[in-house]
Structure 1
Amino acid sequence: MKKLFTTKNLALMAIFAAIAAILMVLIEIPVVFIAPSFYKLDFSEIPILIGTFIMGPVSGIIMEAIKIVLKILLKGTTTGYVGELANFCIGCCLVVPAGIIYKFKKSKKGAFIGIVVGIVLMAVAGAILNYYVMLPFYEKFMPLEAIIEEGAKVNPIIKDKWSFVWVAVAPFNVFKGIIVGIVTGILYKKISTFIKKL
Structure 2
Amino acid sequence: MLTASKKMSTRTMVKTSVLSVLAFLIMYFEMPLWFTPPFLKVDLSDIPALIGAFSLGPVAGVVIELIKNILNVAIEGTTTGAVGELANFFVGGIFVFVAGVIYKKDRTFKGAIIGMLVATVAMTAAASILNYYFLIPFYAKLFGAPVETFVEMGSKVNKYVTDYRSFILFGIVPFNFLKGIMVSAITIPLYKRVSPILHR
Fold agreement, TM-score > 0.5:
yes
CA–CA distance in structure 2, aligned partners of residues 51 and 174 of structure 1:
21
What is the Cα deviation at residue 78 of structure 1? 7.0
Task: Describe the SS at the equivalent of 1:29.
Answer: strand
Residues 151-185 of structure 1: per-residue CA shift (max 9 Å, x gap) = 11222221222211121011001111111001100
Q: Tell me what 2:182 maps to.
A: 179
Please, which runs of 5 or more residues in structure 2 have no aligned partner?
none
Q: TM-score, normalised by structure 1?
A: 0.91
Taking the TM superposition and a 5 Å limit, the aligned residue runs for 1:55-74 are 55-74=56-75
Matches within 5 A, 1:160-179: 160-179=163-182
Q: Of residues 142, 147, 150 in structure 2, which corresponds to 1:144?
A: 147
Aligned identity (percent) is 44
- Determine if contact 1:120/1:174 at 8 Å carries over to the other structure: yes
Matched, 1:106 2:107: yes
Question: Which is higher, the Rg of structure 1 or of structure 2?
Answer: 2
Relative to the length of structure 2, the TM-score reads: 0.91
CA distance in 2, matches of 1:77, 1:18: 20
Matched, 1:134 2:132: no
Return 5+ residue gaps in structure 1 as ranges: none
Q: Does residue 23 in structure 1 map to residue 21 in structure 2?
A: no
Higher mean alpha-carbon deviation, 78-87 vs 159-168, is at 78-87
**How many pairs does the alignment contain?**
194
CA RMSD of aligned residues (A): 1.8
Aligned mates of 2:77, 2:22 — CA distance in 1 = 17
3-state secondary structure, aligned to 1:6: helix
